[in-house]
Amino acid sequence: MTDASDAERDAWVEWRRMDDAPDGEIEDDFAPVDLTVAITQLLVRGETRDEIARRLRISRADVDMRIADATALAEAEALIEREWIVREKLRDLTRQASALDLPTYETTRLSLLLDLAKIELGLISWTRRRAASA
């Protein structure tokens, strides 16, 4: 074997060692390595960014860039999920508020909850605009 193939084999063995799941089907064993997933797994295990760069044979700047991209993606997904939850709650509160013969205190409570949901949607929009301008 040549040095290049030894290095490739070592990288593959290291990636397989990082994989928590037991060996599955053969397609899983030969699937391309997603560096962002590998970096995330190593971070979860408590390794530093310098150690990760050294183990995956990539630059520290590449590690930092992939972490920043993954973080931004996770934050955007969390924001979308939170917005969906708030909109569902808003619909539910609107349905409850439209019921006939509600006591005054219940109408007041629902009104306050509706206002809070609208404020939260406003904060989500503000956060999204701020992230887009950064």
Encode pLDDT of 37-52 as tens digits: 888 888 999 999 999 9
For residue 64, being part of any structural domain is answered with: yes
For residue 16, being part of any structural domain is answered with: no
Pull the structure tokens for residue 71: 């973080």
CB 14 within 8 A of CB 45: no
For residue 13, being part of any structural domain is answered with: no
For residue 24, being part of any structural domain is answered with: no
For residue 79, being part of any structural domain is answered with: yes
Question: Going by C-beta distance under 8 Å and a sequence separation of 6 or more, which residues neighbour residue 59?
Answer: 53
- CA dist 118 → 95, 112, 122 (Å): 15, 10, 6
For residue 60, being part of any structural domain is answered with: yes
Percent over 70 (pLDDT), the chain: 75
pLDDT in tens, 55-68: 888 899 999 999 99
pLDDT confidence of residue 102: 84
pLDDT confidence of residue 91: 92
Domain count, the chain: 1
For residue 26, being part of any structural domain is answered with: no
Range of the domain at 40: 34-133
Count CB atoms within 10 A of the CB of residue 39.
23
pLDDT confidence of residue 31: 60
Q: Is the pLDDT of residue 28 over 60?
A: no
Half-sphere exposure of 133 (CA within 13 A, CB side): 6
For residue 66, being part of any structural domain is answered with: yes
CB 79 within 8 A of CB 127: yes
pLDDT confidence of residue 98: 85
